[in-house]
Amino acid sequence: MSIDAKRRQLLRLGTAGALLAALPQVPHADTGHVHVEPAKANPDFHPDLELELAAGPGEKALLPGRATRLWQFSGRVLKGDAAQLAMLPGDVLPVIRARNRQKIRIHFVNHLPEESIVHWHGLHIPQKMDGHPMYAIRPGARFVYEFQIDNRAGTYWFHPHPHGRTGEQVYRGLAGALIVSDEEEQAVGLPAGKRDLTWVIQDRTFDRDNQLVYARGMMDRMMGFLGDRILVNGRPDFVQSVATTAYRVRLLNGSNSRIYKLARDDGKPLTVIGNDGGLLEKPLQKAYVTLAPAERVELWMDFSDRSVGDRIRLRSLPFNAGMGMGMGMMGGAALPNGSDFNVLTMQIDRKVSARSRLPATLTRIPRYRLQDAVNRNAPRTFAPWMGRGTVTLNGRSFDKMDEVADNEIVKLDTLEVWELANDQSMMMMAHPMHIHNLQFQVIERKPDPRFAAAYQTLSGGFVDEGWKDVVLVMPGERVKLLMKFTDHTGLSLYHCHILEHEDLGMMRNYLVRA
Ligand code: C2O
Ligand code: CU
Ligand code: CU
């Protein structure tokens, strides 16, 4: 059945039926795929680091009993420092470490039984290198990425981005951290090496055979898929052994749709030193940190006042996600958003005398000013919308790979204000909105008084300071961002990072024109 026929059928079912009816499994099946030749190696590009990165089936023993079948990235360094590609502790997810300005060539090989392409989340790179779904390659094919890192030191990441399949591919195991360093950051003198930790938090559901279970129906997809087991770096019941000293901890929410309200179980606050686009100007003390899908946060964690044998848990505290709005849409998740659970355990297992002092200043961040925005009096408004079995952005879906509407065309080298307006939807829920290819600044939040109670359970944990590429927009809320379009013309994406929403079409192109 074509999508149009399906839509007509959904309309006939009426609202309640339509909300529950299943959309086609692969929404882009007949949306006119733009076919683009995969990029090949350019002999005039001289990489500092050259990698082969393959995505393919594998398995890992994650739970007692049978091994879990996964889709995994694996790779090797062809040129450069072999330590730049490693596995995160847990040995499930990879990490690429690079310095700003390094030239990188990555031979991506698709060993999956379906199309894929890799997106470098947070990086500022040309259109063809960004993993736009129009570049998805077939099983067995290769795509050669070549780009120069042009980002501040920070915690970025990579994951597949084929249209309609991103959620499932990430869920099956395809994700990795991409850590960029630079001289400015090095001069700050933060804990490094073994005292620089990365924790990727994800949620999964396993069946009785230890195999992954993904979204079963339209309800799971509309609400966003929620697993009932928490994994860190791909492992359940993650224990991090630490010494009595200070650590830099990078947290990435790699979950498809879960929001975490992170806090220590010993009542001590969290000290935030960075977020999506790198270090903040100065450390912030927070009772808890809210981490929405794809967001990153960096913490300073000092265990020097603890004794060997102590355990501290990182928990996710209860909150009210403000979902549903009387629609009975809480969904059937075994561990709903806003549940109270352990994320991981920090086990203090050795004494060391090394002391580090938290720097009072970390960096300087030039502030964009609203008065400098070309559209300061007329922000572009983008409204996520859900209802009747569909999700859209400004009433449009991701129907064509290269489509842009008039209000999605911006000019190179201009500063703009965008307003994300989550107050127009038929079904209300929080959406973590992501913009490709740039880091923006959050300048204003206008919460909705109707959802004030829900808002207040999470807003104390927002880290809106610094550079961001994802921002959680709460039900009814309007959030204003300032962003600049520099260096690269061409198509880019903006979308909800609830991966099921992205796959259903809460994603659009924007075009940067010279
Ligand atoms: Cu992390 Cu377009 O995504
Ligand atoms: Cu991205
Ligand atoms: Cu969404």
For residue 15, what pLDDT is reported? 34
Ligand 3 is an ion; residues with CB less than 5 A from it: 431, 496, 498, 501
For the Cβ of 119 lying below 6 angstroms from any atom of ligand 1, the answer is yes
501 CA to centre of ligand 3 in angstroms: 5
Tokens of 306: 């603890």
Instruction: Decide if pLDDT at 25 tops 80.
Output: no
For the Cβ of 435 lying below 6 angstroms from any atom of ligand 1, the answer is no
How far is the C-alpha of 227 from the C-alpha of 177, rounded, in Å?
A: 21
pTM here?
0.93
* Mean pLDDT value across residues 398-426: 97
* Mean pLDDT value across residues 445-468: 96
Atom of ligand 1 nearest to the CA of 493: 2
For the Cβ of 118 lying below 6 angstroms from any atom of ligand 1, the answer is no
For residue 35, what pLDDT is reported? 67
For the Cβ of 493 lying below 6 angstroms from any atom of ligand 1, the answer is yes
For residue 33, what pLDDT is reported? 57
The mean of the pLDDT values for the chain is 92
* Mean pLDDT value across residues 32-52: 88
Chain segment 132-191, per-residue pLDDT in tens? 999 999 999 999 999 999 999 999 999 999 999 999 999 999 999 999 999 999 999 999
Would residue 256 be called left, alpha or beta, if left means φ above 0 and alpha means ψ between -120 and 50 degrees?
A: alpha
Cα dihedral value 252, 255, 258, 263, nearest 10: -30
For the chain, the distance separating the N- and C-terminal CA atoms, rounded to the nearest angstrom, is 41
Give, in order, the Cα–Cα distances in Å from 251 to each of 40, 133, 156, 177: 34, 26, 10, 10
For residue 9, what pLDDT is reported? 40
For residue 389, what pLDDT is reported? 86
For residue 476, what pLDDT is reported? 96
DSSP string, 210-250: S-EE---SHHHHHH----SEEEETTEES-EEEEESSEEEEE
Chain segment 482-493, per-residue pLDDT in tens? 999 999 999 999
For residue 440, what pLDDT is reported? 98
Cα dihedral value 326, 328, 329, 331, nearest 10: 150
For the Cβ of 499 lying below 6 angstroms from any atom of ligand 1, the answer is no
* Mean pLDDT value across residues 13-26: 35
For the Cβ of 434 lying below 6 angstroms from any atom of ligand 1, the answer is yes
For the Cβ of 132 lying below 6 angstroms from any atom of ligand 1, the answer is no
For residue 22, what pLDDT is reported? 35
Chain segment 231-285, per-residue pLDDT in tens? 999 999 999 999 999 999 999 999 999 999 999 999 999 999 999 999 999 999 9
120 CA to centre of ligand 2 in angstroms: 6
For residue 36, what pLDDT is reported? 81
How far is the C-alpha of 364 from the C-alpha of 360, rounded, in Å?
A: 12
473 CA to centre of ligand 3 in angstroms: 9
What is the widest separation between alpha-carbon atoms in the chain?
70
Instruction: Decide if pLDDT at 59 tops 70.
Output: yes
For the Cβ of 480 lying below 6 angstroms from any atom of ligand 1, the answer is no
Q: How confident is the model at residue 354 (pLDDT cuts 50, 70, 90)?
A: confident
352 CA to centre of ligand 3 in angstroms: 45
**Of the candidate ranges 226-240, 327-341, 378-392, 440-454, the one whose mean pLDDT is the lowest:** 327-341
87 CA to centre of ligand 3 in angstroms: 30
Sign of CA dihedral 460, 466, 472, 476: positive
For residue 331, what pLDDT is reported? 59
Instruction: State the number of CA atoms in the 13 A half-sphere of 72 facing the CB.
Output: 17
Q: How confident is the model at residue 209 (pLDDT cuts 50, 70, 90)?
A: very high
Q: Which residues contact 456 (CB under 8 A, 6 or more apart)?
A: none
How far is the C-alpha of 437 from the C-alpha of 434, rounded, in Å?
A: 10
Instruction: Decide if pLDDT at 34 tops 60.
Output: yes
Amino acid at 195: R
Instruction: Decide if pLDDT at 122 tops 70.
Output: yes
